[in-house]
Amino acid sequence: MKKTERINTLMRYINNRAHFTIPEIMREFHISRSTAIRDIREIEAMGMPLVAEAGRDGGYFVMSNSVLPPVRFTDNEIKALFIAFMATRNQQLPYLTSRQSLTEKLLGLISENQQEDLVHLNQILLFQGTNPHNPDLLELSDLPHPMLEELIRLLLADSYLWATLNGEQGEQSYPIYLLHLYHEKGLWLIEGFDLKEEKRRILPVDNLTSVRPYSPKKRLTRKKILVKLGRQEEGVNLVLTLGPKAIAQYKKYHPLKMSLSYMDPYQTTARLQTYINVNAPGEVAEMVHWLLFLGGDMQLKEAPDEIWAGIWERLVLLCP
């Protein structure tokens, strides 16, 4: 355990006890006597009121009605928290109902001058999803699917789920091992391994009707699941590089589960590799449209003939 982490943990350990001794601290934190004494002196220097008791059975106790030193934020830390609140407003995030109480507590910790700065920031900064006619920090709208918090609660205990969804073919259930729960294009999605059909599935949280723990008698380990998925992965058949303008276009819109690999520390050039199913005409047409959307700052390094043909066809139509 690092020293900073140990000091923070030790402060909480001490604050929850009426009395403690150096040997107790040594045993609890597996540290030497000299280290324990140095840590206690540092904690006293931070403002925690400790009283030492002399004698053979002596030790320390915390003065009555004492608490941990109050949390203090710098001006920049306050602004960082505030802007994070503003930027995530109306983003369908879980636990959003706690935003109001959290904000009120934050405002109660800061000075009037800091509060005035935040009011000014709230007036001049607008983010996607902000109503310019009512940019209220405490505004709660566009809440996530009610199943999302229950889903997260279950996932904190176990990654094996029994998920039931409403789809085009009616209600269907899947035994899923969760790989990722992610938010993209305004949607929450489950990326998981179907334990019955042994393949990757992407399930929209908005379609969930119920979710509960799934306990197969003989579980596949995560390592075995990843091995099976690796064997099923399609080969890469589309490779492109992007310059700054194409990267900006990519950030505006990109197909699900497609990510960039930046090629320089300033993130001005990037490479993208993926697989396109050329037997699905709709997927080919969508990809052609998206590649043209990226603009001239994109270079196509490798692509199936169907993609080249689709691009040529679109260019001919654009230049009669």
Q: For the whole prediction, is pTM greater than 0.75? A: no
What are the domain boundaries of the chain? Answer: 3-62, 72-143, 147-232, 238-318
Concatenated DSSP letters for the chain?
Answer: --HHHHHHHHHHHHHT-S-B-HHHHHHHHT--HHHHHHHHHHHHHTT--EEE--STT--EEEPTT--SPPP---HHHHHHHHHHHHHTTTS--TTGGGHHHHHHHHHHHS-HHHHHHHHHHHHH---TT--TT---TT---SPPPTHHHHHHHHHHH-SEEEEEEEETTEEEEEEEEEEEEEEETTEEEEEEEETTTTEEEEEEGGGEEEEEE---SSPPPHHHHHHHHHHHPPPP-EEEEE-HHHHHHHHH---TT---EESSTTS--EEEEE---TT-HHHHHHHHHHHHHH-TTEEEEE--HHHHHHHHHHHHHH--
Task: List the pLDDT tens digit at each of the 320 positions of the chain.
Answer: 678 788 888 887 887 777 788 888 888 888 998 998 888 888 888 777 777 776 555 678 776 544 555 556 778 888 888 888 777 766 677 776 677 677 777 777 787 888 888 888 877 877 765 655 655 554 555 566 778 888 998 998 899 999 999 877 788 999 999 988 887 767 788 889 999 988 888 888 888 999 999 988 888 888 999 888 777 666 788 899 999 999 999 988 887 667 788 888 788 999 998 888 787 777 888 899 999 999 989 999 999 999 999 999 888 887 76
CATH 1.10.10.10 fits 3-62, yes or no: yes
| Domain 147-232, classified CATH 2.60.290, yes or no | no
